[in-house]
Amino acid sequence: MTSTASAAPVDQKLRCDAARNRERVLAAAMELYREHGGAFTVEEVASRAGVGIGTVYRRFPTKNALLDELARPFFEQLLATAQAARAHPRPAERLEVFIRSMAEQHAATGVRSGRLWDTALARPLRDQYQRTVELILADARDGGRVRPDVDVYDVGVVIWTVGGLIDATGRAAEVIWRRHLDLVLDGLRPGGHTSPTTRPIQQSDWEALVVAAPALRLG
Amino acid sequence: MTSTASAAPVDQKLRCDAARNRERVLAAAMELYREHGGAFTVEEVASRAGVGIGTVYRRFPTKNALLDELARPFFEQLLATAQAARAHPRPAERLEVFIRSMAEQHAATGVRSGRLWDTALARPLRDQYQRTVELILADARDGGRVRPDVDVYDVGVVIWTVGGLIDATGRAAEVIWRRHLDLVLDGLRPGGHTSPTTRPIQQSDWEALVVAAPALRLG
DNA sequence: CACAAAAGCGGAATCGCATTCCGGTTATCG
DNA sequence: CGATAACCGGAATGCGATTCCGCTTTTGTG
């Protein structure tokens, strides 16, 4: 699947009432998202926004497109996060700070930097983001804080992977992802390890993960 | 959500025709699973099995329960894998062998050891499995091949996490999970690192991950 | 073997949701 | 002010999973 739609002609030349409705829909959706995290009906969005379903659909071709749109602001925040990390005083620590704050942000907002990468509007952001990450990585490398063979993709995978843990355990068991991230970050360093700051995972934490993973792939 | 149902009274005292049908359904489902990987209809299962939908549902309260049932044999295989690793000649290497073969098996069969853990029938297997993992871990620790602070849960999380990558990228980009696993395994070791055997990840590999992750959590 | 329950059966009917359609409305522009 | 393209609302569709229920076998018994 290529990035369906989302190449939506931004919010240009919309009839003013249409524009207003678009905002209402977005606002309603955001509200619902905060309340139920994606588990809401398009009809609910419509009624809360005080418009008909058709209206929602003329503006957003699909529920997913709507969600993507919701994610955009958070996504811009991600870029900001990367740039903030880049500004960290000790260059060598920037990579770790970066990865940690990405995770932290994901945990706080529930937004993962997945599909969005692929949308037209996000492209410029994406390029900037990637460039920033390269720089951060270079800093860490210069400072001797990463194994020289670690590249941007490795970093991306780590973030993706921890993102999965965050999605799966969320509030229920933060330790799980924190502890794992500590271990992985240790693993990325060139030399020995420093001791992680987290407590070990416990049976009760683990349950959350077990329940979250279906035994068979569904797609 | 606690393990819904699945405490099904095994395949005991079923009217013989019922038992036959149950097998047919299971067989049909397995066929379909191999063909479409979970993306099939309960009606398809029914018709391929030559029974009515109702029949499927009387035996398996939900499509998911059916899938869980399908997974069982694979799951037993997982235990076998653990035990095989335990039998590896060099004790110190058992942990790594274990983790690697778990991933390998997941990649090959598409079965992840998630929800199943929680079912009544799986419990005895699970206990055995956990005990085995403890032993493997102890071996590695004695051999000085893992940081002393790594425990069973850490191992579990690594397997879960790599499982996520496998599900997401599958055939499309094996490098991703292999490379990541190499890095993580390196990270679990107490001392320095050995160089991984995989090639670095490339843009084209990465795409797979990007597309696989939705921007917003849906549950 | 006959017979009443118990256990099964098929598949139509429901339900929840996303997505599509279409006849009626309203900004906008000349 | 009139034409019309852009909008609207919300009923209708489509698709799956899951439920229901009247009819059929199996099974246990006498």
Check residue B85 and give its pLDDT: 96
Report whether pLDDT(A43) > 90. yes
Structure tokens at B35: 């063909």
pLDDT above 70 as % of chain A = 77
Residue B73 pLDDT class (50, 70, 90 cuts):
confident
Nucleotide nearest to B44 (CA to C1'): D16
The shortest CB-CB distance from B201 to any of A115, A117, A153 is to: A153
Cα–Cα nearest to A77, from A35, A45, A111, A52: A111
Q: In this complex, do A217 and B151 lie within 8 Å of one another by their Cβ atoms?
A: no
Check residue B210 and give its pLDDT: 60
Mean pLDDT confidence for A138-158: 89
Check residue B2 and give its pLDDT: 32
Are the C-beta atoms of B161 and A164 separated by less than 8 Å? yes
Q: Which chain B residues in 23-52 sit with Cβ < 7 A of strand D?
A: 40-43
Check residue B97 and give its pLDDT: 95
Q: Which chain A residues in 6-35 sit with Cβ < 7 A of strand D?
A: 14-15, 17-18, 20-21
Residue A71 pLDDT class (50, 70, 90 cuts):
confident
Residues 6+ positions from A97 with CB-CB distance below 8 Å: A85, A88
Are the C-beta atoms of A181 and A196 separated by less than 8 Å? no
DSSP, res A143: T
Check residue A22 and give its pLDDT: 97
Give the chain A residue nearest B154 (alpha carbons): A180
Å between A23 CA and D1 C1'? 32
The shortest CB-CB distance from B116 to any of A167, A202, A215 is to: A215
Check residue B11 and give its pLDDT: 52
A163-168: which pairs have CB atoms within 8 A and are 24 or more residues apart? A163/A103, A163/A106, A163/A112, A163/A113, A163/A114, A163/B213, A164/B161, A164/B164, A165/A209, A165/B157, A165/B160, A165/B161, A166/A103, A166/A106, A166/A107, A166/A112, A167/A110, A167/A112, A167/B217, A168/A208, A168/A209, A168/A212, A168/A213, A168/B160
Mean pLDDT confidence for A49-73: 94
A59 touches strand D (CB under 7 A): yes
Residue B119 pLDDT class (50, 70, 90 cuts):
low
Q: Which residues share a beta bridge with B111? A: A216
Are the C-beta atoms of A112 and A170 separated by less than 8 Å? no
Chain segment A14-30, per-residue pLDDT in tens: 899 999 999 999 999 99
Report whether pLDDT(A47) > 80. yes
Are the C-beta atoms of A140 and A91 separated by less than 8 Å? yes
d(CA A160, CA A103): 9
Chain segment B120-169, per-residue pLDDT in tens: 666 778 788 889 999 999 999 999 888 888 888 889 889 999 998 888 87
Mean pLDDT confidence for A116-133: 76
Residue A8 pLDDT class (50, 70, 90 cuts):
very low
Distance from CA of A76 to the nearest CA of B (A): 13
Nucleotide nearest to A52 (CA to C1'): D9
The shortest CB-CB distance from A37 to any of B115, B118, B219 is to: B219
Can you tell me which residue has the tokens 């309260």? B61
Q: Which of chain C's bases lie under 7 Å from a protein CB?
A: 7-13, 17-22, 26-28
Q: In this complex, do A188 and B183 lie within 8 Å of one another by their Cβ atoms?
A: yes
Check residue B7 and give its pLDDT: 39
SS (H, E, C) chain B: CCCCCCCCCCCCCCCHHHHHHHHHHHHHHHHHHHHHCCCCCHHHHHHHHCCCHHHHHHHCCCHHHHHHHHHHHHHHHHHHHHHHHHCCCCHHHHHHHHHHHHHHHHHHHCECCCHHHHCCCHHHHHHHHHHHHHHHHHHHHHCCCCCCCCCHHHHHHHHHHHHHHHHHHHHHHHHHHHHHHHHHHHHHCCCCCCCCCCCCCCHHHHHHHHHHCCCECCC
* Relative orientation angle of helices B94-109 and B174-188, to the nearest 10 degrees: 160
Check residue A167 and give its pLDDT: 83
Mean pLDDT confidence for A61-80: 88
d(CA B101, CA B139): 17
Q: In this complex, do B217 and A38 lie within 8 Å of one another by their Cβ atoms?
A: yes
Å between B32 CA and C5 C1'? 37
CA dihedral of B192, B194, B199, B205, whole degrees rounded to 10: -50
Q: In this complex, do B114 and A210 lie within 8 Å of one another by their Cβ atoms?
A: yes
d(CA B71, CA B29): 11
d(CA B25, CA B59): 9
Check residue A198 and give its pLDDT: 61
Å between A56 CA and D14 C1'? 19
Residue B28 pLDDT class (50, 70, 90 cuts):
very high
Q: Which residues share a beta bridge with A216? A: B111
Are the C-beta atoms of A39 and B218 separated by less than 8 Å? yes
**Chain mean pLDDT for chain A:** 83
pTM, two decimal places: 0.82
A16 touches strand C (CB under 7 A): yes
Distance from CA of B161 to the nearest CA of A (A): 6
Q: Is A156 helix (H, G, I), strand (E, B) or coil?
A: helix
Cα–Cα nearest to A70, from A25, A14, A39, A21: A25
Q: Which of chain D's bases lie under 7 Å from a protein CB?
A: 6-12, 16-21, 25-27
